[in-house]
């Protein structure tokens, strides 16, 4: 499976490099074509609680999924949720498979070269979680430890960047697998989003958050070169903040409200 994942990653990167130029050449704004089509295709991750998961009725639910519902409501179009993997978020956008991606998508300058980000709609932290007996003070203490992260996600990026040389970084395909690696003792600890850490710790009292590796402001991703859609989405985020709906979702899924920074 490791080999497959490596190939997947390579192919995704290759496609990311080739495709952006093509998708933009269609002309006109996606905002108009989405409204005309009557459907918006939104990439979400159903394996990334509490952002995206399936609820007790086996329906998609979570913070990202509900933000997507509000966006579709305010656009007056039908919502089509597409379950995506973290590594496929960018190629699925650039190849035109998706209109937007709402997928605990952290803003990084690297990613912003390939796709566009809206204003922030949540600010998460990337934290180190491990069994309370295996105490680690800071990121430097990870030397000699095995650390689980989710491949191509922000926790992978910040851990790869900040962890000392001796740290052994294990990459898994989605947050569920990463958490399972921790629960089954395959890794000493994991770096994951603060929201998921809260949820896992409530379920497993012997786990503890030790330190924050990095803050992770998150935004909605879309194709570059579409100022109309970008502007509409920013207006929408501003509007949802004004009506308090986005705060209500934060309270429901993340267990607290976060003051959103504005660009």
**Residues that bind other proteins in the complex, under the rule CB under 8 A:** 4, 7-8, 11-12, 15, 18-19, 22, 46-50, 53-58, 62, 82-85, 88, 91-92, 95-97, 174-177, 179-180, 183-184, 199-200, 202-203, 253
**162 versus 180: smaller Cβ distance to other proteins:** 180
CB atoms inside a 10 Å sphere around CB 155: 31
User: How far is 96 from 82, CA to CA, in rounded Å?
Assistant: 13
**51 versus 128: smaller Cβ distance to other proteins:** 51
**Cβ 12 to other proteins shortest distance, Å:** 7
**42 versus 163: smaller Cβ distance to other proteins:** 42
Give the distance, in angstroms, between the CA of residue 14 and the centroid of all CA atoms in the same chain: 21
User: How far is 94 from 135, CA to CA, in rounded Å?
Assistant: 42
H helix intervals, 58-190: 63-75, 89-94, 109-112, 154-162, 175-183
**Cβ 4 to other proteins shortest distance, Å:** 5
H helix intervals, 63-153: 63-75, 89-94, 109-112
**Cβ 228 to other proteins shortest distance, Å:** 21
**162 versus 204: smaller Cβ distance to other proteins:** 204
**Cβ 262 to other proteins shortest distance, Å:** 27
């Amino acid at each position: 499976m490791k080999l497959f994942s490596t190939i997947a990653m390579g192919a995704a990167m290759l496609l990311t490099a080739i495709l952006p130029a093509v998708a933009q050449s269609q002309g006109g704004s996606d905002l108009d074509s989405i409204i005309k089509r009557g459907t918006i295709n939104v990439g979400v991750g159903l394996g990334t609680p509490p952002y995206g998961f399936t609820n007790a009725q086996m329906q998609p639910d979570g913070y990202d999924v509900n933000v997507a519902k509000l966006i579709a409501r305010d656009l007056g179009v039908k919502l089509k949720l597409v379950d995506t993997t973290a590594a496929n978020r960018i190629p699925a956008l650039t190849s035109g498979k998706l209109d937007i991606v709402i997928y605990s998508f952290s803003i990084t300058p690297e990613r912003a070269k390939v796709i566009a980000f809206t204003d922030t709609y949540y600010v998460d932290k990337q934290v180190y979680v491990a069994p309370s007996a295996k105490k680690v003070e800071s990121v430097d203490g990870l030397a000699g430890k095995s650390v689980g992260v989710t491949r191509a996600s922000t926790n992978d990026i910040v851990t790869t960047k900040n962890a000392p040389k001796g740290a052994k970084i294990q990459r898994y395909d989605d947050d569920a697998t990463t958490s399972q690696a921790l629960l089954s003792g395959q890794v000493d600890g994991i770096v994951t989003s603060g929201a998921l850490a809260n949820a896992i710790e409530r379920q497993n009292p012997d786990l503890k958050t030790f330190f924050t590796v990095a803050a992770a402001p998150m935004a909605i991703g879309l194709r570059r070169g579409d100022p109309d859609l970008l502007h509409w989405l920013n207006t929408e985020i501003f509007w949802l903040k004004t009506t308090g709906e986005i705060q209500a979702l934060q309270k429901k899924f993340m267990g607290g409200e976060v003051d959103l920074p504005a660009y």
